[in-house]
A and B are shown apart, each in its own frame.
Chain A
Amino acid sequence: MNILELSGVNKSYGSFRAVDSLSFKMEKGTVFGLLGPNGAGKTTTIRMIMTIILPDSGDILLNGEKITMDSLNTIGYLPEERGLYPKMKVLDILMFFARLKGIDKETALKRTDYWLKRLELENWRMNKLQDLSKGMQQKIQFIATIINDPELIILDEPFTGLDPINTRTIKDIITEMKNRGKSIIFSTHIMEQVEKMCDHILLINKGRNILDGRLREVKRRFRENAFRVYLDEHGEIDFSSYGGVDHVKKKDGYLEVFLKNDEEIGEILSDIVKRHPVTRFEMYEPSLNDIFINVVEGKNE
């Protein structure tokens, strides 16, 4: 079941095409990485999902239906540009946004208390937001995002400005939400940040969908039948005796071995390990960054 589905969505600002016939589907209960460089159209896409701006053409469906003000209440949104009312009290801010999301007073109060405690901010509830540190304000903003216990959580560059400890806290909460069946969209240009969390990724560039698929499949697709061998200082391997080896690249401290196909990989590896002082070897998997650069530069498609 798809929680979100975009088909043929376009948005232009004057002659600039911010989003160019973008289509994708997002499965319910998955973590979805919306990835791309700055200015790729990620925020514009999210703003169209949130109905902040309207697409010039195309459809956006939430649970198979057009998005309405009521269905927006089931989405939690952390905008890239953070900011709340600096002169309002923390408790009032959270209550205000909870109430805007259509949550009754009692539930809102209960959840506010829970999250403030969970993020160790309960002593600040009666303080004005501007009295809090930047990191604490970010946490308040995160609470405001999930205060409605949303089915779909959209996080636009969620970890910018957070220290490692807070980043881990937020990641833990996101994982927990995922385990509870929530769907999560990560939008970021820093791909390593979310590589380990995403089930599915969508790479966009210049407003266009350039790569879309389950993370594991994408990685497999871009794996180049290669492995890395780390040897002792003076170790040497003569690869000419291995018929399956296509070519070898000598790198600093290790060798990158490219195979003709992946069928003989087991044999070759075990043979090498038997005969040479190998300290470590690993399958070579390109990072999302590498994949992205490859795709954008048109090397692999």
Chain B
Amino acid sequence: MNKILLILQREYLQIVKTKLFIISTLLTPVFMVAIMVIPMLLMQFRTGKPEKIAIVDNSDLMIYEELNEKLNSEEFKPGYEVHREEYNLYELPRGLEQLKNQVLSRELDGFLVIEKDILDTGSISYYSKNVSNINTQGNIKNIANEIIRIKRFRMLDLDIADEVLEKYLDPVSMQVIRVSKEGETVDKGQGFIISYIFVLLIYMTILMYGVSVLRGVIQEKSSRVIELIISNVKPFQLLMGKILGIGLVGLTQYAVWLVLGLLLMNNTDTLSGQLGFSPVEGGFDPSMIKIPFSVFAYFAIFFILGYFLYSTLYAAVGSMVDNEQEANNLQTPLIMFLVVPIIIMPMIMQNPDSLISVVLSLFPFFSPMLMFLRINVSQPPFYQILLSIGLMLASIVLCTWLVAKIYRVGILMYGKKANLKDIVRWIRYK
């Protein structure tokens, strides 16, 4: 036991003391914050300049006037500078060419064309260089929609006031409320994003630290230090010390991130206040995340179990090869097991409780990602969670037993590439 501890300590310190580890541990949160903050900053920069939009209105229905009025309202913070361009039917093709040139030369941000038969077709065209500006497009579309719907009702000659009509025509909004034992929470989609991020984190860290174990094993082999070590330590002790040590590095990294994350979340308001902007609607606002404690607990459980399962297998791969290039082929099946859950994640998210989702999430190699995902997006029965944990534990015991046998022989084998037959023979060795 003492020897496992010594190995563990060496593995742990050897990584934790490196500059790479310290920098990546500290920089990752900075990077995450940057991802959140930069869109806000970009939004902020745009407020300085209202967008210039030309409108060609051939409808004779005063649509331009109403659009102009609404687009200039206080509601839109960046604001729009709207003016009218008038072309008669003959001038129209040439006029459009002119406007397009103005868009290309950035005199205009875009222009809107409303045809004469708008009430029948219900279709307007917006020309812009930047077609991904969803905000502006959405605004124009919504306002035009409102105006034209009212105009259509007006055609029916009903005696209803505009305000009343507008109210009647308000679109229906729907709130999504997640029902769970802890209570109800309004889901604005962030649950979805958080689950995705967390599952990706589990995937990435299992892969990262699994490969770390692989590298460690190969390095001990290629530097030939292995023989000296296993003349002092049983291969099983070395294997355990190594896996535990590197796993502990992973947990350390998470602990640092958690502390930094909590500090950050508690100080989001002051932070954004100091930077001089407020969270933008539709942007990513960290303060709206309320992650229940259970998610962290499950995250830890599934990371640890997943890491154990995969890192033992990575250790086996490392013991079977002489260098990292050779390892690439052998680790392909492992990477497949890791990647498949990520690929089928959207499917599981749509139907978290279907039979196939349940079965896939119980498969021990997928559980770290898929069962954790199901816990986040739905409420799988507790027995299923326990079952997946149990199955993973059983697989870990089985894998460790098998891997210890392969590892014991493999670490002393040089030169010869092991095939399946060799490995079966290694396992049978006394």
Contacts and interface: CB of A to CB of B under 8 A. Distances in A.
Interface of A: 47, 50-54, 56, 69, 72-73, 75, 77, 79, 81-88, 96-97, 99-102, 141, 144
Interface centre among B226, B227, B412 (most CB of A within 10 A): B227
Contact of A96 (B6, B220, B227, B412): B6
Given A96-B6, A96-B10, A100-B3, A52 B231 contact: yes
B225 A101 contact: no
Q: Which 10 A-B pairs have the closest CB atoms?
A: A83-B224, A81-B224, A50-B231, A79-B227, A83-B223, A100-B232, A83-B225, A77-B231, A84-B225, A99-B6
B14 interface: yes
Query: For chain A, what secondary structure do more than half of its interface residues adopt (helix, strand, loop), or is it mixed?
Result: loop
Contacts of B231: 50-52, 72, 75, 77, 79
A101 to B, nearest CB: 6
A97 B10 contact: no
A52 B220 CA distance: 15
B6 A79 contact: no
B227 A81 contact: yes
A84 B232 CA distance: 14
B398 interface: no
Interface in B229-253: 229-234
A64 B192 CA distance: 68
A293 B21 CA distance: 57
A69 B6 contact: no
Nearest to B223: A83
Q: How large is the interface on B (under 10, 10 to 19, 20 to 34, 35 or more residues)?
A: 20 to 34
A134 B95 CA distance: 82
28 contacts: A47-B227, A51-B231, A52-B227, A52-B230, A52-B231, A56-B430, A73-B232, A77-B231, A79-B224, A79-B228, A81-B224, A83-B224, A83-B225, A83-B227, A83-B228, A84-B223, A84-B228, A85-B14, A85-B219, A86-B223, A96-B6, A96-B10, A97-B228, A97-B232, A100-B3, A100-B229, A100-B233, A101-B232
Nearest to A141: B228
B223 to A, nearest CB: 4
A88 B14 contact: yes
A86 B225 CA distance: 9
A50 B231 CA distance: 6
Nearest to A87: B14
Given A53-B412, A100-B6, A69 B234 contact: yes
Nearest to A14: B425
Nearest to A86: B223
B10 to A, nearest CB: 6
Contacts of A102: 2
Contact of A85 (B2, B3, B225): B225
B410 to A, nearest CB: 13
Contacts of B228: 77, 79, 83-84, 97, 141, 144
A14 to B, nearest CB: 8
Contacts of B223: 83-86
Nearest to B226: A83
Nearest to A51: B231
Interface centre among A84, A100, A102 (most CB of B within 10 A): A100
